[in-house]
Amino acid sequence: MTKLAANLTMLFNEVPFMDRFEQAAKNGFKGVEFLFPYDFPAADVAAKLKENNLEMVLHNLPAGNWAGGERGIACHPDRVEEFKAGVDKAIEYVKVLGTKQVNILSGIVPAGVTHEQAEATLVANLKYAAAKLKAEGIPLLIEAINTFDIPGFFLTGTKQTLDIIAKVGSDNLFFQYDIYHMQRMEGELANTLKANLAVIPHIQLADNPGRFEPGTGEINYTFLFKFLDEIGYKGWIGCEYKPKAGTVEGLGWRAAHGL
């Protein structure tokens, strides 16, 4: 059975962030995810979750200076101590919010850093984070992102992601599969999902082109939702798309896809 989580970074932007929890619940969502909770006290976010009977599905570790264009620091050799501090901060929030799993953004490779240096840094950081989070019972995810939207991003495809997971060698590191990003980078969505289902505990969606709602582009979501049920996917699917003409106005795609 398909479980949809509203991504509150992308959806319900018509209201302030702390009001989006109520909007998500009013519009039928049972779970939520977002990029970061760290601009707000954890207790305040937890109160919104409780008030609206929402499950906290996923958020990311701190990812550097997001407003300044950074998209993660896990592959930055000169930011290791900052990364480790971010792991501690994420754990603090997870314990209060009850977050089911956390995601790491590998980041854009810094100028002057080789691919090999970036990979070695990422692997070492993932080993550290996976072990520390495992001790707290928190699954760790990594995500591949398309280089059209984020040029220079380190982790860009399924094979590379699986290779990194193998090099880390932890049973607490998994693949967050973003349908939109992987459609742009490699396609072959259904077979990839089926082949790697054991290491994919979370999926995100948007259509292409535009990163809008399912049904606005080229991806056959009617097929994919049915296919995910058939292969036994049990996790959440995060709705991480840009509403084309207003969040509530665009939610009709769920009924159109039998959800």
Q: Which residues are tagged catalytic?
A: 143, 240
Measured between alpha carbons, how far is residue 84 from residues 2, 63, 92, 167, 211 in Å?
A: 35, 11, 13, 19, 32
Q: Are 133 and 93 in contact (CB under 8 A)?
A: no
- Non-local (6+) Cβ contacts of 257 within 8 A are 214, 215, 221, 222, 225
Q: Which residue has the tokens 């979501």?
A: 221
Count of CB atoms situated within 10 Å of the CB of 144: 25
**Which amino acid belongs to residue 170?**
S
Q: Which token pair is 125?
A: 């950081």
Asked if omega into 209 is within 30° of 0 (cis), the reply is yes
Count of CB atoms situated within 10 Å of the CB of 36: 15
- β-strand partners of 60: 103
